[in-house]
Amino acid sequence: MTALHHLTLIELAAALATGETSARAATETALARIAALDGRDGLNAFVTVTADQARAAAAEADTRRARGEPRGPLDGIPLTLKDLVDTAGVRTTAGSRVFADRVPSHDATVARRLRAAGAVVVGKTNLLEFAYGYPHPDFGETVNPWNRSRTAGGSSGGSAAAVAAGMAHGALGSDTGGSIRSPAAYCGITGLKPSYGLVITAGVVPLSWSLDHVGPVARTAADCALLLAAIGGHDPADPASASTAEAGPAMTAVAELARSVLAGGSAPASLRGVRVGAVPRFFAMAVTPGLAAVVDEAVRSLAVLGAEVVEVDLPLDILPLVVSAISQIYGVEAAVVHRQWLTEQPDDYGPTMRAGLTEALTVPAVDYVAAQRDRLRVPAAFADLYTRVDLLAWPAQPLVAPPLGTTTQVIHHDGEDTPTIDIEIGATGPANLTGEPSISLPCDFATGLPVGLLLQAPRFADAPLLRAAIAYQTATGFPPLPPLA
């Protein structure tokens, strides 16, 4: 059997069901991995480890199982939460000194839903400050499990590193411009940004209310399906929640898929009838040598599975518009969120974030409105592509994990100096503007580091997207586990 800490979420659920292991054993293994690998001198993936609460939750899960009581689908499985997801009685820092001592009185909706499904929360994971794009000096940057000189990515790097290193079997992250999918690509695991409004953000510290998404990070797409089934669905108390008419059918399809994989089923072995559009403009963005060829080979694997793969492209000005619109929108919306704290506690912010928020406060309203107007062109451009294909494919990121400490640096590519964060947003940001589901799948390596294949689908086609991703992973397997004992 694979080492307990490297079982997928689905594999662990099966082992728990057969009695091959226990929630206590799985939890103690996760906590031991955290003790051995984490800390400021290690991967720096965790802000807070909730060992006592996790042990109590694991004991309750084992008791339920021993008594034959009804159990949730995640019963006894160690998971972690990005440290901007509120947890009752446990501090939620959002990676900033501003919130260093903040202890919420209530769980976020997603945390409550995970606990209701029986999950064991082993801790809160590190992130870039308020998910804005830069690490706070007090918290530091999360290290990539594949190479200790590289970043795990942002802003959900702690969640991705924790899963990749076997410190949890799944995690939640947030994604405003790619912050689930980029770390997943860099750490060689799977990350899903669901359709906008499908997963409730109530109780999650906001960055940009019109772009924020919450979603799962796990080893596999099947694991992500199970997590999405647990956390998704309409909530009338959240104005950002998709309507019952929209979310209901989408979540019914996700729940059916989750039940199938949990019961040992799988996605169809064939993708026959599925039309996949490869977008050459994204492949041309590749910075790391060999990366485009690796993803191109992954797309050919979809064709081997029976998918019809064709090239489709976007108007020339759409990708620059993506970066400019997202940067303008999230900067201004974050400034609104932080206006009071920035006035009262300016020195508690990291210097880079403080400077960014201060500048965003001076953006004229007409510029913000213009950015919101421009974003409407992005869904229209993608809707045109979906008249010809069912899914879109391109590199999840055009580069492998950057060196630590390079979040504010530029990359010289194609004769231009471009900020690293703009290159990253250019690849993943379209789905934040369109609200469409988008998933990063590990597909191979370039220059010795993981590469991600990105698949994207129309809004609320989360289940078809996950089925295709599961079929791909079932047929091709995954990269080897990180070089950690």
The two tokens of residue 220 are: 């596999």
Active-site pick, 22, 96, 124, 155: 155
174 is catalytic: no
Residues near 67 by Cβ (< 8 Å), separated by ≥ 6? Answer: none
82 given a catalytic annotation: yes
**Catalytic residue (one of 22, 96, 174, 179):** 179
Q: Which residues pair with 467 in a beta bridge?
A: none
Give yes or no: 124 in active site.
no
The owner of tokens 């979420």 is 9
Annotated active-site residue in 82, 241, 327, 440: 82
297, β-bridge pairs:
none
Active site residues: 82, 155, 179
